[in-house]
Amino acid sequence: MSDLQKLAASLAGRAQSSEEVEAFVTHEKSFNVKVYSGEVESLSSAEPRGAGVRVVSGGRVGFAYTTDLGEQSLDQLVGQARDNAAHSTPDEAVALAPAWAQAPPEVTGLVDDAHARVSSDDKVSFALELERATRSLDPRIRAVEEAVYSDSDAEIGLATSTGISGLYRRTDAWCYSMAIATEGDDTEIGFEFDLARGIAALDAEAVGRAAAERALGVLGAAKIPSGRMPVVFEPYVAGQFLGVLGSALVGEAVQKGRSLLAGRLGEQIAAPGLTMVDDGRREGAPGAAPWDAEGVPTGRTEVISKGVLTSFLYDTTSARREGRGSTGNAARGSFKSAPHPSPSNLAIDSTGESRSEVLERAGRALLVEDFHGVHSGANPVTGDFSVGATGRLLEGGTPAQAVKEVTIAAPMLEILKGIEAVASDLRWLPFGGSYGGATTLVAEMTVAGS
């Protein structure tokens, strides 16, 4: 048993009779480098650790966390969570995850074995290369506002007095670049990112080039006349749309009347060809893990099946409220927060076409390359969706005039019903959970321009 697992077990072991205790502990090694103009601008490294504890007693739950892992502090931590529980409202649905019948199978591919051997110098070189690749594509790239490489190597441990004890390790590496392109009076920004389990799977050249191309592509962009027209979401943009929709798929939001999908289980809510899956074990997806943030084994849930809403996503408490089992969808930001239900890896299945086939089918349409103001313009409670967009007008499926300063709007259910094609070019976007987007054709939305 590792030190971290022992720490979790010792916290859970502080449970008194008639209460249950859960301990979530993490130990991480993180690294970040940001370069500017061919030089390192900032470099940061750390090894943070901490513990978060829930105490459940008589249907009441309290939470506390600390970064001080000394024995005395750990006693106080459990005591504080116990005191907090006394001020919550009793709810018979509240409970910790039940003990495992057997340990959940491991998820492969969470760790890049080479990660620990990559030197800081190599990481710095990667960031410099990312900036160079962004800047060197075209003389109109005036600067690279930020070129960043980050990684993390984390151990996550969880133990409960109900009998759960688990530990897993995950490595993550990600990078992004932000290009500034200028031509005459026109200045535009282009953003691109990539994420993987380790630095070797990141491609500095490709990310830099894509950031530059995105900025260059918007140069000379203009508004287009207002009207209704077909819209194509780029994969990155489709992922953001799923990010908003995902919070409406959470069972707790439905139970509390805070979801546009409340009362629609079994209804045809999307185009007949559309199937959407949440899979906490999906290989290659950033949110994959053997068990969720309260220790429930992760699994696969079909939420939309051929256009019909078939299931919501649950943690233990929201599942008990409906007398069913958790779908393994508890998540937490860090040891500093109690678990809450959230999608894990949510994606729409491809309808089988390639990207070029989807574009061709779109004909004359707005290809959306970026949303602006999603967190304010999209509302998973009311279903309102009205956001700023940049992109290109497609003429006969071929990108033509660059478009900016327009907004696109449609009720979210209308967007879902209007999805005519989802290409096979899936990419993952971390956005609270992780969301898989692919080139997606929506039959019609309102475009507001000039």
Partner 1 sequence: MLDETLIRRTLTEALARGGDLAELFVERRSSTALRLDDSRVEDVASGREAGAGVRVISGERASYAYTNLLTEQGLSEAAQAARAGLSGAEGTVAADLRRSVGPTHPVKHAPEEVGAAAKAEALSRANEAARSQGAAVRQVSASYADVQQHILIASSDGRIAEDDRTRVRFAVQVVAARNGEIATGFEAPGHSGGFELLSVHDPADLGERAARKALRMLEARPSPAGEFPVVLAPGSGGVLIHEACGHGLEADTLVKDASVYANRNGERFGSESVTIVDDGSDQGAWGSFGVDDEGIPAQRTVLFDKGVLVGHMSDLLSAAKIGHPPTGNGRRQSYAHLPIVRMTNTYLLPGPDAPEGIFSSVERGVYAATFAGGEVNPATGNFVFGMAEAYMIENGEVTYPIKGANLIGNGPRVLEVIEAVGSDFDRKEGVCGKDGQAAPVTNGMPTVLLGKVTVGGTEA
Of residues 369-398, those binding partner 1 (CB under 8 A): 372-379, 381-388
What amino acid occupies position 210? A
| Pick 255 or 305: Cβ nearer partner 1 | 255
| Pick 53 or 133: Cβ nearer partner 1 | 53
71-90: contacts with partner 1 (CB under 8 A): 73, 80, 83-89
Residues 416 and 282: their CA atoms lie apart, in Å, by 23
159-218: contacts with partner 1 (CB under 8 A): 180, 187-189
Q: How many residues bind partner 1 (CB under 8 A)?
A: 80
Half-sphere exposure at residue 137, Cβ-oriented, CA atoms within 13 angstroms: 26
Residue 42 as a binder of partner 1 (CB under 8 A): the answer is: yes
Only one of the segments 102-110, 154-162, 271-279, 407-415 lies at the binding site for partner 1 (rule: CB under 8 A); that segment is 407-415
Residue selected from 4, 12, 159, 260 as contacting partner 1 according to rule CB under 8 A: 260
Q: Least CB distance from residue 36 to partner 1, whole Å?
A: 7
Ramachandran region, residue 295 (left: φ > 0; alpha: ψ -120 to 50; beta: rest): left
Only one of the segments 16-24, 97-105, 203-211, 440-448 lies at the binding site for partner 1 (rule: CB under 8 A); that segment is 440-448
Q: Where are the alpha helices (DSSP H) in 86-203?
A: 120-135
Exposure b/e, 295-315, CB count within 10 A at least 16 = b: bbbbbebebbeebbbebbbbb
Half-sphere exposure at residue 250, Cβ-oriented, CA atoms within 13 angstroms: 27
- Beta-strand ranges (E) seen in 184-253 are 186-196, 227-233
What amino acid occupies position 47? E
Q: Judge contact between 160 and 53, C-beta under 8 A.
A: no
| Pick 210 or 347: Cβ nearer partner 1 | 210
Q: Least CB distance from residue 219 to partner 1, whole Å?
A: 11
| Pick 301 or 434: Cβ nearer partner 1 | 434
Residue selected from 404, 416, 417, 422 as contacting partner 1 according to rule CB under 8 A: 404
Q: Judge contact between 428 and 193, C-beta under 8 A.
A: no
Q: Least CB distance from residue 351 to partner 1, whole Å?
A: 26
What is the x/- site pattern for partner 1, positions 420-439, by CB under 8 A? Answer: --------------------
| Pick 223 or 324: Cβ nearer partner 1 | 223
| Pick 52 or 280: Cβ nearer partner 1 | 52
What is the x/- site pattern for partner 1, positions 285-324, by CB under 8 A? Answer: ----------------------------------------
Only one of the segments 166-174, 349-357, 408-416, 425-433 lies at the binding site for partner 1 (rule: CB under 8 A); that segment is 408-416
Half-sphere exposure at residue 168, Cβ-oriented, CA atoms within 13 angstroms: 19
| Pick 336 or 355: Cβ nearer partner 1 | 336
Residues 116 and 282: their CA atoms lie apart, in Å, by 24
Q: Least CB distance from residue 396 to partner 1, whole Å?
A: 23
Q: Least CB distance from residue 113 to partner 1, whole Å?
A: 24
Q: Least CB distance from residue 161 to partner 1, whole Å?
A: 19
Exposure b/e, 156-190, CB count within 10 A at least 16 = b: bbbbbbbebbbbbebbbbbbbbbbbbeeeeeebeb
Angle 114-116-119 (CA atoms, 0-180°, nearest 5)?
95
